[in-house]
Amino acid sequence: MSAPTGVAARTTTVQASPIGGVSTAASSARAGSPDVELARTYRSGLHECSHYGALVIVDRDGSLLWQRGEVHRPFFPRSCAKPFQAVAMLNAGAPVGGPDLALAAASHTGENEHVVRVLDLLAAAGATEQDMRCPAELPADGAARDAVIRAGGLPRPVYMNCSGKHAVMLGTCRAAGWPTADYLAPEHPLQRLIRSTIADLTGETCGDIVGVDGCGAPVFAIGMVSLARGFSALVSAAQGTAQRSVADAMRDHPRMVGGSDSLDTLVMTAYPGLLAKGGADGVHALALPDGRAVAFKIADGGDRARLPIITAALRFLGVETGRRPGSTTDASLPSTAVLGGGRPVGAVTVAPDLFR
């Protein structure tokens, strides 16, 4: 597995690149809020809106390299916790590896390759689709969703983006001899193991803040620094450990982690060796092969600022991102252009002070 070129962290200036105009003044932090400006949207030269939040970068030893905003307060990591959940399942005896292990940590888009594997995982666990406790949905991938609708299909749990995790949870329970009817209960042996695994990987004991994720599984609140340290622990672990096995499966099989148009799939494909996993409501975490890691949350929960923040953070860490002219993102990744009349009239960029 090749690794992105890394250099020692340093203070750099990342300039915004509005199309057809110049920056307008804006406060870097909102009054009375712990959030700071992470990204801006420009349209026809005008600074049209801002995305606030918090971001942290940790070194391979877990020390802070860079931070913006309040990065210690507890928040829900959402699907960024899936690699930690997969580690717990492996340690409990889950009989998966390779692409199936990547699918256990995935937010897949419901394409045929994902659905077939989920159904196979259920069959191997002696379970059915009705045993999964995740909601029924249509595929997130547009082409797959259209195909289901054209065929007269309806929403199904297997199409839901977390169904790989749920299928492997059922398989883990079978392997460990645990009951399956209540596998999502916070006090179920599997969820207790996940909770302790998150504490081991992140260095933070999960407190009393336990939520219900979109798929119905428990989600444990941790700090953003802890999330970044957990991702660092995944890639830094020795070969053969559950942590490293999960990280390697995700990096070796990025299509299983997302799908054809998934940001995580595209980013890991563009930067081999990078581990990336997003979560709902603006959460994202990344780790370079050398153990340096990034975590951020966009406060408004939107998605369009994710890619500019990711590529700017990688540049800050010395990774060559191959920018396209007039853009803040890699030429091999989706454009962040703002369209007007079907043509680019602006862009989403990182805030001028984010890495200054």
Residue with tokens 């399956």: 180
pLDDT band of residue 288 (cuts 50, 70, 90) is very high
pLDDT band of residue 22 (cuts 50, 70, 90) is very low
pLDDT band of residue 17 (cuts 50, 70, 90) is very low
Residue from 94, 162, 173 nearest 134 by CA: 162
> pTM of this prediction?
0.89
159 pLDDT exceeds 50? yes
Mean model confidence pLDDT for the chain: 90
185 pLDDT exceeds 90? yes
pLDDT (tens digit, 9 = 90+) per residue, 202-225?
999 887 889 999 999 999 999 999
19 pLDDT exceeds 80? no
324 pLDDT exceeds 50? no
From CA 165, how far away is CA 142, in angstroms rounded?
22
Collapsing DSSP to helix, strand or coil, 103 comes out as helix
Give 207 or 114, the one with higher predicted confidence: 114
Collapsing DSSP to helix, strand or coil, 23 comes out as coil
Query: Looking at the chain, how many residues does it have?
Result: 356
pLDDT (tens digit, 9 = 90+) per residue, 45-91?
999 999 999 999 999 999 999 999 999 999 999 999 999 999 999 99
Asked if 355 and 15 count as a contact pair (C-beta separation under 8 A), the reply is: no
